[in-house]
Amino acid sequence: MNLFEHCQTLLPENSSTLTTLMDYLNQIISALVHIESLKIIIRDLTLPNCLLFDSQTIKLSDYAKKDDRYSSRYVQQIPIRWLPGDIIAGDENWSIQTTIFMFGTLLFELFHLGLYIPYHDLNDDEVLQFFRDVWSNSKQNGIEPSVLCFATHFPRPTLCNDRLYALIERCLSWSSLDRPSFRELSLCLDETATVLSQ
């Protein structure tokens, strides 16, 4: 089973759901800190690629694009909704900062229990056009695109507290220079888990 399927069986009103999600999140971030140290770039970090085993252990995979159930998530084998605009626009190369952006979209999807995908209100062509329009306009006007579209296309999940939503927002910064490292994110999540447990 993958995390996308499993999340849809969880109930938001159940008091253990947030604890369960935080456990999954800590496993994912631990793997990503290790991957970052090896300078490996992940190009498809989405819920269906997080495989959940009987022991409640999560392993990252590259499984979803080979599964017909998830074909709608891809345009020419690329998960465009999970990528930053600078990659779609072709202005930046793939980097660990791209993976960090994808982690932000994974957080968004995780805390919505798999019920929302990024830009859920747009079809694929509209997403591509949105990136082209917003990216060129923001470069001309010097306005951070994430400020223009964040709340509209990434509405706050009900299971997300202020700290978690702020982390999502940082990961989804339009400029790759403004995104935190996975090590920094790991420390922030530790602090968040401590606050939630009090």
CA–CA separation, 86 and 102 (whole Å): 13
pLDDT digits (tens, 9 = 90+) for 180-190: 999 999 998 88
Structural contact between residues 22 and 193, judged by C-beta atoms closer than 8 angstroms: yes
Q: Which residues contact 9 (CB under 8 A, 6 or more apart)?
A: none
Question: pTM for this one?
Answer: 0.90
Supply the pLDDT for residue 189: 87
Supply the pLDDT for residue 113: 95
Is pLDDT of 141 > 70? no
Closest CA to 6 of 41, 59, 48, 34: 48
Supply the pLDDT for residue 182: 93
- Range in 15-24, 104-113, 188-197 the model is least confident about: 188-197
Say how many domains are in the chain. 1
The CATH number of residue 171's host domain is 1.10.510.10
- Domain, as residue range, for 147: 3-197
pLDDT digits (tens, 9 = 90+) for 91-140: 778 999 999 999 999 999 999 999 988 888 889 898 888 887 777 666 66
